């Protein structure tokens, strides 16, 4: 049978990671995406640099933010599974 170990510190770190993923990181991604979406609207910001932002920088950044959010959602699901397994192993 494989070794099963979950120290109190490991349990604490899993909970800490979950808090970071579901709170701070996800919130920052949503905020960044909202700012970028706002700035990519010509009625809010226009001019040569704004056009460059809209056409060159923002599309790939928006995609990267959406990908990061998806990956964080997947990580959150994995963390829930891991935490459940740790708790089950400890009982």
pTM as predicted: 0.77
d(CA 61, CA 80): 28
Please give the pLDDT value at position 35.
98
The per-residue pLDDT for 90 is: 61
| Cβ partners under 8 Å of residue 31, min gap 6 | none
Give the model's pLDDT for residue 1: 62
Per-residue confidence band for 74, with pLDDT thresholds at 50, 70 and 90: very high
Residue from 28, 19, 31, 3 nearest 80 by CA? 19
Q: What would the pLDDT profile of 2-58 be if each residue is shown by its tens digit?
A: 777 778 898 888 888 888 888 888 889 999 999 999 999 999 999 999 999 999 999
């Amino acid at each position: 049978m494989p070794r099963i170990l979950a120290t109190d510190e490991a349990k604490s770190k899993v909970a800490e990671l979950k808090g970071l993923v579901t709170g701070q990181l996800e919130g920052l991604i949503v905020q960044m995406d909202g700012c970028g979406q706002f700035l990519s609207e010509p009625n809010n910001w226009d001019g040569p640099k704004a056009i460059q932002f809209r056409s060159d920088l923002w599309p790939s950044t928006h995609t990267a933010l959406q990908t990061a959010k998806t990956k964080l959602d997947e990580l959150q699901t994995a963390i829930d599974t891991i935490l459940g397994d740790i708790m089950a192993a400890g009982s």
